[in-house]
Amino acid sequence: MEIIQPSKEYHNSSHCIYSCLYHVIFCTKYRRKVLSDNIQVRLKELVTEKQIQYKYSIIEIETMEDHVHLLLDVDPKFGIYKVVSSIKGYTSNSLRKEFSELRSKLPTLWTRGKFISSVGSVSLETVKKYIEKQKNV
């Protein structure tokens, strides 16, 4: 599992130089604690494997039993809303196929909502440390 880890660096695409960093949180439906350790491992693999196709880089990722934290660097031509929606759709579909307990406990895996915040007013290191420490809270 390869996580592409840029620090605060700039990327080039045709006619655009960018660095668009976002802290993203999304939760399981009804905040049910259904993301067991083996599901969390698979979820991280699924999010990691779509980086090139969905045009984002993972800087940090942490999963808990009922929610996910991501720190992403996103290509602005693809857009953060589309990236998060794509990640949620892909992971929900894949995980519900692989883990039958998710189909029996919930009508869908994720809530419709999501938290998205650009990283800038708080330093990148602060957000990275916050996400890294989530398991210990």
Residue type at 64 in one-letter notation: M
**Beta-bridge partners for 70:** 24, 61
The DSSP code sequence of 1-32 is -------S--EEETTEEE--EEEEEEEBGGG-
Q: Model confidence over 16-31: pLDDT tens digits?
A: 888 889 999 999 999 9
Residue ranges covered by each domain of the chain: 14-131
Grade residue 6 by pLDDT with cuts at 50, 70 and 90: very low
Distance, CA of 20 to CA of 136 (rounded, Å): 28
* Token pair listed for 67: 């929610």
* Token pair listed for 125: 């290191």
- Record the pTM: 0.83
CATH architecture of 14-131: 2-Layer Sandwich (3.30)
